[in-house]
Amino acid sequence: MHTLPRDGLALSSLDEQLLLPGTKGLPITEPLRQGAVGVQGWNVLRGDTSFPVAVLKTSALQHNLAWMQAFCARHGVTLAPHGKTTMSPQLFAAQLANGAWGITLASATQVQVAHRFNVRRVLLANQLVARADIAAVLALLHADPDFECFVLADSLEGVALLAAARASHALARPLPVLVELGLHGKRAGCRSPEQALAVARAVAAAEGLALAGFEGYEGLLVSQDRDADLRAVRAFLAELVDLVETADAEGLFGAAEILLSAGGSSYFDLVARGFAGIDGLSRPVRAVLRSGCYLTSDHGSYQRLLAQLDAREAHADGLRPALEVWSSVQSRPEPGLAILTMGKRDASYDETLPAPLFMHRPGSAANAPSVLPPGCEIVKMNDQHAYLRLPEGAIRAALQVGDLVGCGISHPCTTFDKWPVLLAVDDAYHVTQALNTFF
């Protein structure tokens, strides 16, 4: 068997790897050392890359990293951003360098990827139930005594699976478990505080497990009645706080501090406020936000929800969209229709279709892209094609085969997972770096 270094790989190992021809977005005909991407002089607007190409605007990423660090400092909350959004070691490192306490993840294999790249603390915000997956997490904790990983349970059966695996394992320390509180009619999680307490008691009683806190996910509360959503979010957070106080009074916690975690990317301001000011417990309480999409924001569903958050926070300068997918016009078969070299394999389509923002003609004198006029809309995507509907007007004559179109996306998670390599660009679309994802 080959072994990996116990304390993970430095990011420089990614710079040393060879990117191969056939990597989406890269205009290479021979293998290229990844660290050399930034010195190739590629510019997206000049048409130097392969198309489609996914780009991350560095200025927006930096703004969002600083914005969130300031937000957490202002509210006294801890950030463990959801890494499933990007699964990018370079972006994990940027988040950790900008104040994140750990990385939240969704599966055992994601935990293995993060550990490989030297993430030292993980919140696995899913029930861990499959035998090989429990074994994988225990193996990491055993091989690397300084690595921390918190897991969830929401049932006595789940606790029993964890306890049985733990009992037959040589791991010297307890496995820290958060109990998940859920919402009626929604996803996982106990449906009442009583059920959650019963699970918490089972965790506390199990040999080799330690109750480390409670967790919930309020982000599913999105309906047409936004006032009702906000009331429901606040009530859910209050229930979580009550649970922590009750469990502490019962002496169920078994770690140095109590974790209390919630917070998708739509309501983390409410979470920060809802978790503020808990004191008088047996040990410190750490309020952990898990937003993943703050890093890139988007041009769709999160942009709308974050605008509401900005209004609540009275922020003039909120999170900025950082992720775009650029493709070529490959066909102009009808006056009102352009077909782009981009499809379901390249951009999200689960919330809304991509938002066409810009056009640019490679070789033109313009050093910035033109903003597309209102009415331009992606109306459909196939696997490898997008249908861009063009309104009446000058755009119909202006947009030619070979032109480039830049699209914003809605729901960054389902775009990141389509790109093994994304390209970081400056505001002039010069390519500065390659960023990897591991899905």
Site for a second copy in 35-64 (CB under 8 A): 47-51
Q: Is 373 in the site for a second copy (CB under 8 A)?
A: no
Query: Is 107 a residue that touches a second copy (CB under 8 A)?
Result: yes
| Interface with a second copy (CB under 8 A), residue from 56, 161, 221, 287 | 161
Does the protein bind a second copy through residue 7 (CB under 8 A)? no
Does 391 bind a second copy (CB under 8 A)? Our answer is no
**400 neighbors 329 (Cβ within 8 angstroms):** yes
Counting residues that bind a second copy (by CB under 8 A) gives 86
| Contacting residue, 6, 74, 131, 283, with a second copy by CB under 8 A | 131
Q: Which of 59, 74, 76, 157 binds a second copy (CB under 8 A)?
A: 157
Amino acid at 164: A
CA 140 → CA 132, 341, 413, distances in Å? 12, 42, 26
In the complex with a second copy, the residue whose CB is nearer, 72 or 376, is 376
106 binds a second copy (CB under 8 A): yes
DSSP conformation class of 43: B
Calpha distance 190→229 (Å, rounded): 20
71/217 with CB nearer a second copy: 217
Whichever of 32 and 372 has its CB closer to a second copy, that residue is 32
* CA distances from residue 54 to 24, 331, 345, 355, 407 in whole angstroms, order as listed: 9, 21, 12, 14, 10
Q: Is residue 126 part of the contact set for a second copy (CB under 8 A)?
A: yes
Near a second copy by CB under 8 A, which window of 134-142, 267-275, 304-312, 366-374?
134-142
Give the interface segment with a second copy, choosing from 72-80, 245-253, 310-318, 377-385 (CB under 8 A).
377-385
Long-range CB pairs of 366-371, under 8 A, 24+ apart, other chains included: 367/45, 367/428, 368/45, 368/428, 369/45, 369/404, 369/406, 369/429
- Asked if residue 263 binds a second copy (CB under 8 A), the reply is no
Coil, strand or helix at 234: helix
Q: Return the residue of 75, 84, 166, 360 that touches a second copy, per CB under 8 A.
A: 84
Among 23, 43, 246, 370, binds a second copy (CB under 8 A): 23
- Check binding of 133 to a second copy (CB under 8 A): yes
Q: Which of 3, 12, 168, 224 binds a second copy (CB under 8 A)?
A: 3
Question: Considering beta carbons, is residue 272 or 404 the nearer one to a second copy?
Answer: 404
> Is position 17 an interface residue for a second copy (rule: CB under 8 A)?
no
Which of residues 41, 280, 333, 374 is near a second copy by CB under 8 A? 333
Cβ–Cβ under 8 Å, residues 53 and 79: no
For the record, the structure tokens of 101 come out as 């306490």
In the beta sheet, which residues pair with residue 97?
Answer: none
Note whether 139 binds a second copy by CB under 8 A: yes
Query: Which residues have CB under 8 Å from 74's CB, separation 6+?
Result: none
387 DSSP β-pair partners = 339, 380
Q: Interface with a second copy includes 401 (CB under 8 A)?
A: yes
Among 239, 420, 432, 433, binds a second copy (CB under 8 A): 420
Contact pick of 2, 12, 41, 146 for a second copy (by CB under 8 A): 2
Are 301 and 261 in contact by the 8 Å Cβ rule? The answer is: no
What is the phi/psi pair of residue 359, to 5°?
Answer: -130, 155
Residue 367 touches a second copy, criterion: CB under 8 A: no
Q: What is the DSSP string of 250-300?
A: TT-B-SSSEEEEE--SSSHHHHHHHTTT--SSSS-EEEEE--SGGGT--SS
Name which of 275 and 369 has its Cβ closer to a second copy.
369
Give the rounded distance of the alpha carbon of 347 from its chain centre: 15
- Is 224 a binding residue for a second copy by CB under 8 A? The answer is no
Regarding 297 and contact with a second copy (CB under 8 A), the answer is: no
Site string for a second copy, 347-366 (x = CB under 8 A): --xx-----------x----
Burial class (CB in 10 A: 0-12, 13-18, 19+), 387: middle
**Does residue number 427 form part of the binding site for a second copy (CB under 8 A)?**
no
Q: CA dist 200 to 51, 178, 203, 214, Å?
A: 51, 8, 5, 9
Answer yes or no whether residue 422 interacts with a second copy by CB under 8 A.
no
Q: Considering the rule CB under 8 A, would residue 439 count as an interface residue with a second copy?
A: yes
SS3 351: coil
